[in-house]
Structure 1
Amino acid sequence: MSSYATAATKIGLTRGDGDEDRASQRFLEWLAETDRPWLIVLDDLHDPGDLRDLWPPQRFIGRVVVTTHRQDASLAAHHRHLIKVGLFTSSEAVGYIRAKLTDRPELAEGAAELADDLGYLPLALAQATAYLLDRNLTCADYRRRLADRRRQLAQLLPETGSLPDDHQDTVAATWSLSLDWANQLSPAGLARPLLQLAAVLDPNGIPGDVFTTAAVQAHLADALEDPGAVEADRVADALQNLRRLSLADIDHTDRYRTVRVHALVQRATRETFPEDHSATLAHAADALLEIWPEIERDTAQSQALRANTDHLHTHTVAHLWHPDAHSVLFRAGSSLGETGLVAHAATYFHHLHDQTHHTLGPDHLDTLTTRNNLASWQGRAGDPTGAAHAFEELLTDYTRILGPDHPDTLTTRNNLAFWRGEAGDPTGAAHATEELPGS
């Protein structure tokens, strides 16, 4: 309104007597009547409601350009065209970096990798190149700082006074403001905890069913300090609010309705986590396990679930290991084998065993379980002799820890008999079988 009033004064419609309301309306009337071509640019609209009764008139000689993070349907009403400005392509991103570093071409080392790390986001690329120019860093140097999780995202961007291209805020500050707006939209208070949960999952695609689980509803109820369940409709509305503020993208054409959150948005969100955010991580793991099918028939769905588990594990450090290893870690490994990637499954459980042994100790039941899985997939991957030897050692430890008649001990003895037979040792297989109850 102030800008309209100033414009009215400059073109002689008013005397600038301070009545901004009347002056702005006079300016809008002039736009509707004049035969002179005009262009109005309204930059960085936060709330479409702010333009109520202030939209310039629609005329063939006039044009209005509005820039905004919002994607509300109302913005495309009245024959307006909503044009989404997306990400650079990889070649565009590298070309942009090299153009910014024309005078310092030696700093462009690692430009392609940096573009990928920043997710080809134009705003982030602009601020990153300004940062490395100010600090005489190569793209490779900047990547090393970016990979250091001890550094906050705000520490890797220029100070407000050094922002390029007349930017008013850093990337992190822009998203923080957008999240504040999204969290105020109805249903109020749900957008923030929903984004916090999405921030620990795969930026390349989160199955939409994750957000309809009982685990996510419990997470949101905890965030609202409401013991009651949060209805699925409210969750869906909160997810759409994240999309409206360009904090998330929802692909409804995908069979499973995939939700994507840019990796830098995720990082900025994780950096605002409360000190104790273990509940958020636990709910994310529970949600993945809740939608994981018992029989995996869709390889794309299985791959997405494993990718989300990997990202969750990456960002949880020890949170999925106390008091025990979360079941989703075992499910992800079994999924590899069940979808035909048996060698990968054996490798996965080898690494998982190293972690359980280090974190929980050699005699913890989860450590024994990883050894059982490792031995099974080792055999299925073509090493029955190695599997038989592993089950023989495992049987000794199960007998010592749980006793000879425990179901897990008996199952291990049965597995030992099977793999001895597969390894060409029928006598050893028969001996192990004879020691099973009822044999």
Structure 2
Amino acid sequence: MQVGDHNVQTNVEVDAGQLPPAQRVADAAGASVHNLPSASGVFIGRDLTQLGGLLAGGAGGVAVGQAVVYGLGGIGKTELVLHYARAYADRYRLVWWVTADSPENVGLGLAELTRRLHPVATLTDAQAWAVGWLQANQGWLLILDNVEAVEDITDLLGQVTGRGHVVVTTRRDLGRASWARLRLSPLRLGVLDRAASVAILAELTGLTEAAAADHLAADLGDLPLALEQAAAYISQHHGLDFDGYRALLADRFTRVAGDSGHGSTAQRTIVSIWQVTMNAIRDRSMLADRVMRVLGWLAPDGLPEDVLLPLAEDSADLSDALALLASYSMISRNSGSVSVHRLVQAIARSEAPPDGLNDAIRLLDAALPDDPIRNIAGWPRWNALLPHIDTALNHLPGTHDNAAALHIGDRMATYRQFQGQVVTAITAFEQVLTDSLRLLGDHHPSTLTTRNNLAGAYHAAGRVGEAITAYEQLLIDRQQVLGGDHPSTLTTRNNLAVVYQAAGRVGEAITAFEHLLTDFRRVLGEDHPSTLTTRNNLASTYRSAGRVGEATIAFEQLLTHSRRVLGDDHPDTLTTRNNLALACQAAGRVSEAISAFEQLLTDSRRVLGDDHPDTLTTRNNLALAYQGAGRVDEAITAYEQLLTDRQRVLGDDHPSTLTTRNNLAHAYQDAGRVDEAITAYEQLLTDSRSVLGHDHPNTLDTCYSVALAYRVAGRVGEAVKALEQLLTDSRRVLGEEHAVTMTVGRSLAVARAAAAETES
């Protein structure tokens, strides 16, 4: 104590051992001394035994008696530890709760312990006395809640280790090595499972709409604090239900997410908690803040970290920024990808300027793989980026001027189209076209390209009438803007001829290809790839028209030319060999076709690899040739192996996978395994309708196969019913005069005759 200036200062050291004895603490069951705050009466979805196991030194614990529970703010760390302390209070002589978010509060918490144990004593150093008591006694539980900086409690942990149990809660994730150094067994707390979330909402509100509760829980990302806030808000607003709260959250996120629902400004809301955290992060790294603002506009899960690299001048800077965000539990990192809770994203979006969305789209555009159609190595990357592309594009306002979004949308739609997601692709192309017309104008080259791609998607979806109309109008505009000899104009003429063929207008297709070939030769030359492609398309159309001899000669000549110009191993040369083998098979030269396919398969595997789509197509065509030669068992084995590989490489819903299933079912039928064939066809029909749509040509083809299988199995009534529906659909989709429609009509007549004969 010092009084005045220039006098003697006397420091009084307190020996805790000489102080009066502490208030008596229970030696047996039940903590007679505790300061636990009140706990929620609704506690669902958490396992207290996991924390108990860590304190006992099991389940990966690095030290007996000391554990840390960490995770995102609002995840329920405090509530978990509080319920543990209350549930197992009878194991301890004393249970003491300290709010440990600052060194000052740690000291105050320990001083309160001293005052509780020495209610009549006046102590100079209450904190030191409390530490002394913890060192001198056993059987206690000390909870250090909401630790912001672990260094604030490091000395305390070292002083009391081995005497009682210590549980720390924190938003910080220091990593296993740091937890081991501190002798704290870590428990990362994640979000609740959906059933627990729904149960909490129902219990707290008394509302029983399970489906609506499920949707709200999804919106809130199963975060306990957000669920409690929502329930409190709903309960305090008469007539408000789960769907109503969801609507408010969508329209007025910041206001609703910042309201605790208790009618007053509360410090403990998801907004207030995460704003404090982001302020701490921002003080340490502006790059981390920028990363967070970008992540807010993307999907919650699985963004490849390298997408974010352009944000930093040095990859090490990005790594440090991500490590900082992860250490505050604002993101999760796993195998090179980053995930963010959807509510954290929503708050980041609500506070972020539009630059965050523009940055996100720019980063995604730079991260796109090349050639979404044939670059197999890029497909996993596409699958990882698609959710983020969808999310970012959905956030764009209808009046946006982001040109990169047009490119992303077009490439994304192209990838989805060739992965069999045709309906989704059409929707995306239509949106890109709308934006292109608004931003670039009717005749901009990018707008014309998008119109071409949209017409191609219509064709892929079996909407050939719309495709023809779109291509015909596009051809007029490209001729006007680019000229008749521009490569893009010639490409449009090629695409239009292809759709004529698909529509059954084979004569028009042949004429169009013949004229186009003349123009390609004149404009681009005999050896240009587009000229060779047109020769291939013309030969294929000859084959479709039944002019198999001309097709075979045309393919043979084209193959000679392709080998000279492109080389034996060029993919286009391999494609021509495939088409020539198909022509041989159509001409009845089945043995020759089989030999050609077998040699082609060997070369495709060598040049393209086992998993390339062209290699898989060659395997499919070889199996078809086996089947056509009566080698049905070999065909079935080949189809079954091919189906496994196409499912692995392309996925269950890819059109080529569905085609393989169709061919396998047909082979079963040829082998006399009609019941298996019908089962396979029926399941395929369900899946085709789901993936491709009811009107897709492949779906209609499967309908026809099912009907024929019914007739073979003697189920004539079912065959008639199926063919009647198919004839109606074919007339509507393809037209009265289409070859498929007429074939279905003839089959229906045969089936009706068989049904009449059966009845008689």
Report what 1:420 is aligned to: 500
Q: Rate the CA distance shift 1:113–1:341 in 2: closer, same or farther, 3 A.
A: closer
Q: Which of 174, 177, 181 matches 2:276?
A: 177
The Cα offsets for residues 402-424 of structure 1, whole Å up to 9 and x where unpaired, read as 33343432332333344334442
Bigger fraction of residues in helix: 2
CA distance in structure 2 between the aligned counterparts of 1:49 and 1:59, rounded to whole angstroms? 16
**2:186 is paired with a residue of what secondary structure?**
coil
CA contact (8 A) 2:277 2:328 kept: yes
CA distance in structure 1 between the aligned counterparts of 2:305 and 2:354, rounded to whole angstroms? 27
Aligned letter for 1:110? Answer: A
The Cα offsets for residues 111-146 of structure 1, whole Å up to 9 and x where unpaired, read as 111111111111110111111111121111101112
1:211 aligns with 2:308: yes
Report what 2:254 is aligned to: 153
CA distance in structure 2 between the aligned counterparts of 1:427 and 1:288, rounded to whole angstroms? 43
Greater displacement, 347-356 / 257-266: 347-356
The Cα offsets for residues 162-209 of structure 1, whole Å up to 9 and x where unpaired, read as 589xx7421012112212223344xx2221101111111111321233
CA distance in structure 2 between the aligned counterparts of 1:131 and 1:411, rounded to whole angstroms? 60
1:406 aligns with 2:474: no
Report what 1:69 is aligned to: 171
Report what 1:223 is aligned to: none
Q: Give the drift of 1:335.
A: 1.0
1:52 aligns with 2:154: yes
Greater displacement, 46-55 / 329-338: 46-55
Q: Give the drift of 1:309.
A: 0.6
| Max Rg structure | 2
Report what 2:235 is aligned to: 133
Q: Which of 342, 361, 372 matches 1:263?
A: 342
Report what 2:522 is aligned to: 438
The Cα offsets for residues 229-253 of structure 1, whole Å up to 9 and x where unpaired, read as x21111012112111111111122x
Q: Give the drift of 1:264.
A: 0.7
What's the C-alpha RMSD, in Å, of the aligned pairs? 3.0
Report what 1:243 is aligned to: 326
Aligned letter for 1:98? Answer: A
1:234 aligns with 2:313: no
CA distance in structure 2 between the aligned counterparts of 1:236 and 1:323, rounded to whole angstroms? 30
Structure 2 counterparts to residues 361-372 of structure 1, below 5 A: 361-372=441-452
CA distance in structure 1 between the aligned counterparts of 2:187 and 2:366, rounded to whole angstroms? 34
Report what 1:119 is aligned to: 221
Greater displacement, 374-383 / 117-126: 374-383
CA contact (8 A) 1:421 1:428 kept: no
Aligned letter for 1:140? Answer: D
Q: Rate the CA distance shift 1:129–1:346 in 2: closer, same or farther, 3 A.
A: same
Greater displacement, 50-59 / 40-49: 50-59
Q: Which ranges in structure 1 are unaligned for 5 or more consecutive residues?
A: 218-229
Q: Rate the CA distance shift 1:385–1:427 in 2: closer, same or farther, 3 A.
A: farther
The size of the alignment, in residue pairs, is: 409
Aligned letter for 1:261? Answer: V
Q: Rate the CA distance shift 1:322–1:351 in 2: closer, same or farther, 3 A.
A: closer
CA distance in structure 1 between the aligned counterparts of 2:447 and 2:122, rounded to whole angstroms? 78
CA contact (8 A) 1:420 1:429 kept: no
CA distance in structure 2 between the aligned counterparts of 1:107 and 1:387, rounded to whole angstroms? 45
Q: Rate the CA distance shift 1:321–1:433 in 2: closer, same or farther, 3 A.
A: farther
CA contact (8 A) 1:417 1:428 kept: yes
Q: Give the drift of 1:5.
A: 2.0
Report what 1:390 is aligned to: 470
Report what 2:212 is aligned to: 110
Q: Rate the CA distance shift 1:159–1:379 in 2: closer, same or farther, 3 A.
A: closer
Q: Rate the CA distance shift 1:155–1:347 in 2: closer, same or farther, 3 A.
A: closer
Q: Give the drift of 1:341.
A: 3.1
Aligned letter for 1:177? Answer: V
CA contact (8 A) 2:389 2:408 kept: yes
CA distance in structure 1 between the aligned counterparts of 2:363 and 2:128, rounded to whole angstroms? 51
Q: Rate the CA distance shift 1:428–1:123 in 2: closer, same or farther, 3 A.
A: same
CA contact (8 A) 1:413 1:436 kept: no
Query: TM-score, structure 1 length as denominator?
Result: 0.83
Q: Rate the CA distance shift 1:306–1:109 in 2: closer, same or farther, 3 A.
A: closer
Report what 2:198 is aligned to: 94
